Structure 1
Amino acid sequence: MSPLALGVLVAVVTIVILMSGTPVAFSLGIVAVGFLLIFDGMGALDVIPQIFYGGIDSFALLSIPMFIVMGSAIASSRAGSDLYEALDRWLYKVPGGLLVSNISACAIFAALSGSSPATCAAIGKMGIPEMRKRGYPAGLATGSIAAGGTLGILIPPSVTMIVYGIATETSIGRLFLAGLLPGLMLTALFTCWGLFVAWRGGYRFSDVSAHFTLKQRFEILPKVLPFLIIIAGILWVLYGGVATPSEAAGVGAVFCILVVAVIYRMWRPFAFWKIFKESMRESVMIMMIIAAAALFSYMMSSLFITQSLAIWIGELEVNRWVLMFCINIFLLVAGFFLPPVAVILMTAPTLVPIIEAAGFDPIWFAVVLTINMEIGLITPPVGLNLYVINGIAPDVRLPTILWGALPFMFCMVLGIIILCLVPEIALWLPRTMMQ
């Protein structure tokens, strides 16, 4: 059997096992071990433990659980509610201020927590009922927050960017910088679309009876600013070369826990236990996927599938933008069925050499890949954000949420097109600040 035919067989078997409901890490591990045993014999058992352990034997990976602890500490507090309220107090007189408050709160909280589901839950619990009370349709209210929650995997600090950096041996600091302006661009596109729909539909923009004094606007800021200062500090030490991502994440996690304890009086042991338990569960899940993906990549390389695929694509006489279009379609479809971390670990090591050979920048590609993963978060059948929003507003049917989020998916597609036309949006900051 040729390597390419074997690759097709591996893909089919992997999809079948994933569709059976088996967890991603176990699916990748089963496929990798099975094909290694079939084609390399029982001798493969000697290297499997080494490859599996080697996949997570990296100091840089320490930043992942630390950032998760940081996000879990913020998500377990009332920081999301306070952030939403603070923005609403400052923007309530702005036409469309409520919608701007929701999307902005999603963008900021997503960056703080690094978790799309946590963002949807934290902002959606207040934002969705308030928007519907003021006349916004259920689709726009739920879809805007479902889409806004996806911004956390792009705006730094981003766990998916860390995973991409480790998988492709790319500078994590540069990746963080690359995601900043595109993240703000997507936030602006979401806001523009939401305001257009609200204006066209004549929905109430704000609560005309509300009034906040200057004192009321400032009094809530002390609860929000410490978290923003911590994030700004983490980014500064990363880009300034003061600390590694792991060191910065560790210090940030400690400070977030202390700020949550002081501001929100979360001194009880149960509160800390909940933070660490949720962080442990998510960290172990990601680490297992990373280890299994390393084993899967080794199997693909050992059977010469990866090399053959790269050679075959490299020999195709097609325009590089046609190649990039095909890669985007592939990533989009993969994001429909798999979580972002799994897609990155399975595809990035193979795709990056191909896109580099075609003349594309791997840091720019990381942003394009991540936006594709954002679309997957609000697209069935996986579409985790859709189900979180449905749990918050059970009276809103899932198709309504999906249709409400659909225009924001087109905004993301537009964002990818803009990045293709103006790649400096992603590359200017890394080139300027980290020469």
Structure 2
Amino acid sequence: MDPLMLGLIVAVVTILVLFSGISVATGLLVVAAGFLVIFDGVRSLELMPEIFFGKLDNFALLSIPMFIIMGASISSTRAGADLYEALDRWLTRVPGGLVISNLGACALFAAMSGSSPATCAAIGKMGIPEMRKRGYPDGVAAGSIAAGGTLGILIPPSVTMIVYGIATETSIGRLFLAGVFPGLLLVALFMAWSLYGTWRSGSAAILKPRDFTLREKIEILPWVLPFLLIILGVLVAMYGGYATPSETAAVGALLCLAVAVVIYRLFNPKAWWAVLRDSTRESVMILFIIAAAGVFSYMLSSLFITQSIAEWIGTLEVNRWVLMIFINLFLLIAGFFLPPVAVILMSAPILLPIVTAAGFDPYWFAVVLTINMEIGLISPPVGLNLYVINGIAPDISLRTILVGSLPYVFCMVASIVILCLFPEIATWLPELVLGPAI
């Protein structure tokens, strides 16, 4: 059978299997095993355990549970509330300042946790009720937090960037740096829309901002300092040459645990059990998907599907930007139905050779891919962040949350366009700190 036709059959079968409700990792294993047996015989299954566990034999994977522990330990404290309160006190006189405060808190929290759901939950529990109390529309309150939470997978440290680095064998440290300025660009676009949207809505919060004395503004700053030190400590350890990304993750986890114990008095054994339990559960889920995607990729390569797709696309006489538009549409649609980790593991190894052959920077592409995944986090039918927000504020309908988050989707699309026009936004910092990529 023609490999391209076989690839189409594999794609359709994979989508149907994943839509059946089976877990992503199990679905990938079932599809891979089925096609290997059909086309290579039963003996091909003998290689599956070796490939499965071989995919996990990577020191860089240790960084995933460490960064997840960072997010879980900080999420179990009042860290999100303190970040929110500090920014609120300083930005209270700015029109739409409370929305901007929440977005800023999301950005800072994302820089520590690397998790979108954790960022949504931590900032949303405090920010959404406060915004509604001060007269902000429900859609603005819920949509801004849902969108702000997506920053967790772009602003370093990012678990999805680690997964991309492992899947494509690119530098994780360089990927982290590539996400810094695009992350700040997104924050700026989100804040600009929040200013305009709040002004347009005529919110009562603009007319009656809260007043804080200079003393009240200054006394909250020490609560923010530990988080800035954590971020600084991780960056210095990684880019100062003191530790590898995996070792840096351990440093970050240790610093976050220290903050949770020393500052927030997290001594309760039940709280610690919850941190370790949730971290273990999420880590195992991601590692299971990584191992299963390795088997799935082996199946595609063994049946010459990957090579045939790359060769076919290479023969197309289309402008490279037209090619990039189609790739973005594919990523966008895939992100609507699958979690970011699954999309990256399934598509990045296939797309990266095509993208680099077209003359695009692989680290720039990682940022574009991640922003597409961010859009998927606030878009149905999966839209994980939408459901997190609905869990925090169940009296706000999913439709209201979705409508409130749509303007931020357009901000993300605008950021992709800006990155296409000015790719140096993503590539300048990695080249400055680490030199040109080899």
**Same fold by TM-score, threshold 0.5 exceeded?**
yes
Match of 2:138 in 1: 138
Q: Where in structure 2 are the equivalents of 1:6-155 lying within 5 Å?
A: 6-155=6-155
Deviations 1:218-270, CA, capped at 9 Å, x for gaps? 22222222122112211122122221011111121112111101111111222
Q: CA separation in 2, counterparts of 1:353 and 1:402?
A: 35
Match of 1:226 in 2: 226
Q: In the alignment, residue 232 of structure 2 is paired with which amino acid?
A: A
Match of 1:169 in 2: 169
Normalised TM-score (structure 1)? 0.98
Tell me the C-alpha RMSD between the 2 structures.
Answer: 1.1
Q: CA separation in 2, counterparts of 1:28 and 1:357?
A: 28
CA gap 1:141/1:13 in 2 versus in 1, 3 angstroms: same
Q: CA separation in 2, counterparts of 1:197 and 1:250?
A: 41
Q: Give 1:396 deviation, angstroms.
A: 1.2
Match of 2:327 in 1: 327
Equivalent residues of 1:134, 1:207 under 8 A apart? no
CA gap 1:86/1:346 in 2 versus in 1, 3 angstroms: same
Deviations 1:292-321, CA, capped at 9 Å, x for gaps? 000000000000000000000000000000
Normalised TM-score (structure 2)? 0.97
Match of 2:281 in 1: 281
Which runs of 5 or more residues in structure 1 are unaligned?
A: none
Q: Give 1:205 deviation, angstroms.
A: 3.9
> Identity of paired residues, percent?
70
Match of 1:241 in 2: 241
SS in 1 for 2:149: helix
Match of 1:213 in 2: 213
Deviations 1:338-395, CA, capped at 9 Å, x for gaps? 0000000000000000000000000000000000000000001110000111111111
Equivalent residues of 2:95, 2:199 under 8 A apart? no
Q: Give 1:76 deviation, angstroms.
A: 0.8
Equivalent residues of 2:161, 2:172 under 8 A apart? yes
Deviations 1:155-199, CA, capped at 9 Å, x for gaps? 000010011011111111111010000000000101111110111
Q: Give 1:209 deviation, angstroms.
A: 6.5
- 2:318 is aligned with 1:311: no
Q: CA separation in 2, counterparts of 1:137 and 1:54?
A: 51
Q: CA separation in 1, counterparts of 2:178 and 2:299?
A: 32
Match of 1:293 in 2: 293
SS in 2 for 1:366: helix
Q: CA separation in 2, counterparts of 1:87 and 1:203?
A: 19
Match of 1:259 in 2: 259
Q: CA separation in 2, counterparts of 1:225 and 1:218?
A: 12
Q: Give 1:204 deviation, angstroms.
A: 3.0
Q: CA separation in 2, counterparts of 1:81 and 1:207?
A: 24
Q: In the alignment, residue 272 of structure 2 is paired with which amino acid?
A: F
Q: CA separation in 2, counterparts of 1:110 and 1:176?
A: 13
Match of 2:179 in 1: 179
Q: In the alignment, residue 48 of structure 2 is paired with which amino acid?
A: I
Q: 4+ runs of 1 displaced by more than 6 Å?
A: none
Q: In the alignment, residue 276 of structure 2 is paired with which amino acid?
A: F
CA gap 1:206/1:122 in 2 versus in 1, 3 angstroms: farther
Match of 1:341 in 2: 341
Q: In the alignment, residue 23 of structure 2 is paired with which amino acid?
A: P
Q: CA separation in 1, counterparts of 2:426 and 2:205?
A: 33
Q: CA separation in 1, counterparts of 2:209 and 2:135?
A: 15
CA gap 1:314/1:423 in 2 versus in 1, 3 angstroms: same
Equivalent residues of 2:95, 2:198 under 8 A apart? no
Q: In the comparison of the two structures, how many residue pairs are matched?
A: 435
Which runs of 5 or more residues in structure 2 are unaligned?
A: none
Q: CA separation in 2, counterparts of 1:340 and 1:209?
A: 38
